[in-house]
Amino acid sequence: TRGDPRRREAVTVPPPSRTLTPVPGGGRRMRPVALKKEIGLVSACAIIIGNIIGSGIFISPKGVLEHAGSVGLALIIWVLGGGVAALGSLCYAELGVTIPKSGGDYSYVTEIFGGLAGFLLLWSAVLIMYPTSLAVIALTFSNYVLQPVFPNCIPPYNASRILSMVCLLLLTWVNSSSVRWATRIQDIFTAGKLLALALIIIVGFIQIFKGNYKELTPSNAFNFWMTPSVGHLALAFLQGSFAFSGWNFLNYVTEELVDPRRNLPRAIFISIPLVTFVYTFTNIAYFTAMSPQELLSSNAVAVTFGEKLLGYFSWVMPVSVALSTFGGINGYLFTSSRLCFSGAREGHLPSLLAMIHVKHCTPIPALLVCCTATLVIMLVGDTYTLINYVSFINYLCYGVTIIGLIVLRCKKPKIFRPIKVNLLIPITYLAFWAFLLIFSLYSEPIVCGVGLIIILTGVPVFFLGVYWRNKPKSVNRLIESMTCWGQKLCFVVYPQGAVAAEEEAPSAPLAQKKPEK
């Protein structure tokens, strides 16, 4: 009963599909086709770190400082932002090993709250959340790559869009061709990001040893140029929390993890503290070179930092941002395509999107949908306005998912949980979540209202496309023909359920058939 809001009781992982392969004698036999388990612990850490560390820490940490009103409070908020992300990731670790499905938030919400709630999360993510995030990261990449070519002006609109599209298409091809290639790219570019940030931190420590830490002394660090209100603190926390977004992305690829019950929590426990350390000390390094006023006036903090302290090697910072965003695009493509794959497997999206390539075992149709949606967002309009709505939707989804953990504890207290966190952890997270959400609604009612409208537009789509099962035969035939066309074009098979066996050739005697393993 995929897609039915009356979900089955058991928490199960769908079996691998079977596709037909030749055997001696001209016959065919069934062989299983499933997503490959090629993500080890190192690649798992790279997925989390690579998706959290994007362009934000290089370009605009000024959002936290602007609302905090002092250097000291801004640094405290960065540390607390990492703490909140750690609390959320612990909750997701429990959910990830209790419901071992790819799809992350969507799979958990569907399993706990039913089809409609899961579909609304999926709808907002596929329609706007991930395509917009991908578009913004790709445009940031192109702007920094083109910066040396256009040093005295903003890169031309068309040049920026074309380079963004080329980058997106290249990485879609890589992800379609091999899971191993995609994870290797993620490993390499994550290492590049960390090296760039390590350079900033090391230069910052050198500055401190030279005595250039005026802004970090307690008297200056807590010298408020404005008295932050509760609303300002909420916005500062929100900015810091969004800089940590991506901590849940490993849960989208649970079925491709090697030994997920060990490696999922391990990767979380390694990655979140590391990112918190890097973010905090990167901000400390910024304040050794810039006053709060200089940081607030900069549109690219890391570039300004490089120009002030690195001299001839200042080009390293724009290159680092470009490499960081390239890895971010790869990570978002890798994980968001698995969300489409999981949604289709549950019957909430066309079944074609739940198919994987027979040879490469990659979800090519889902990747193509993610790529196409991102290209449309790039061409349609102002992606940077859309990102405000995305941020609210994203944060709302986190809270609903963690509420689901508490609900699952009540509904299924005896279900096997390899990891079981103390209930104080989700309750503490939800307290922060409610605080930020309430003040976001109060401070930005229009942005939050539009975000809610985007989510609710999925309600009629759910009832027409998923809940209504007795559709006219002409509609079903059209869907079937489009699915068959897509299956032939992409050479993919549906991983849930077996494909009907082809008739054995008359010339293939029974004695010549090899037994199946």
**480 part of a folded domain:** yes
Does the structure show a pLDDT above 90 at 240? Answer: no
Q: What is the pLDDT of residues 384-413, one digit of tens each?
A: 566 667 777 888 888 999 999 999 999 999
**More confident of the two residues 442 and 499:** 442
Q: What is the mean pLDDT of residues 136-155?
A: 80
Q: What is the mean pLDDT of residues 161-179?
A: 91
For residue 15, count other CB atoms closer than 10 A to its CB: 12
Query: Contacts for 483-487 with beta carbons within 8 Å, 24 or more apart?
Result: 483/350, 483/351, 483/352, 486/352, 486/355, 486/365, 487/352, 487/355
Q: Which of 396-410, 442-456, 486-500 has the highest mean pLDDT?
A: 396-410
Q: What is the mean pLDDT of residues 89-115?
A: 88
**306 part of a folded domain:** yes
CA distances from 315 to 196, 303, 318, 319, 322 (A): 12, 8, 6, 6, 11
Q: What is the pLDDT of residues 288-317, one digit of tens each?
A: 988 888 888 877 788 888 888 887 778 888
Band of pLDDT at residue 493, cut at 50, 70 and 90: low
CATH number at residue 481: 1.20.1740.10
Residue position matching structure tokens 């039915």: 4
**144 part of a folded domain:** yes
**17 part of a folded domain:** no
**More confident of the two residues 160 and 54:** 160
At residue 76, the pLDDT reads 92
The answer to whether 282 touches 305, Cβ cutoff 8 Å, is no
For the chain, the domain total comes to: 1
Helix (H) or strand (E) holding 473: helix 473-490
Residue type, 321: V
**305 part of a folded domain:** yes
How are the residues of the chain apportioned to helix, strand and coil, as percentages rounded to the nearest 5? 70, 5, 25
**316 part of a folded domain:** yes
Where in the sequence is the domain holding 352, given as residue range(s)?
41-493
CA distances from 77 to 65, 66, 232, 419, 427 (A): 9, 12, 12, 29, 20
**378 part of a folded domain:** yes
Q: Which residues pair with 21 in a beta bridge?
A: 29
Band of pLDDT at residue 427, cut at 50, 70 and 90: very high
Q: What whole-number distance in Å separates Cα of residue 45 and Cα of residue 186? A: 10
Does the structure show a pLDDT above 70 at 322? Answer: yes
At residue 385, the pLDDT reads 65
**Average pLDDT value over all residues in the chain:** 80
**6 part of a folded domain:** no
Q: What is the mean pLDDT of residues 4-20?
A: 43
One DSSP character per residue, 212-267 reads: --GGGSHHHHT--SS---HHHHHHHHHHHHHHTTTTTGGGGGGGGBSSHHHHHHHH
pTM of the model: 0.77
At residue 496, the pLDDT reads 45
Does the structure show a pLDDT above 70 at 509? Answer: no
Q: What whole-number distance in Å separates Cα of residue 106 and Cα of residue 313? A: 44
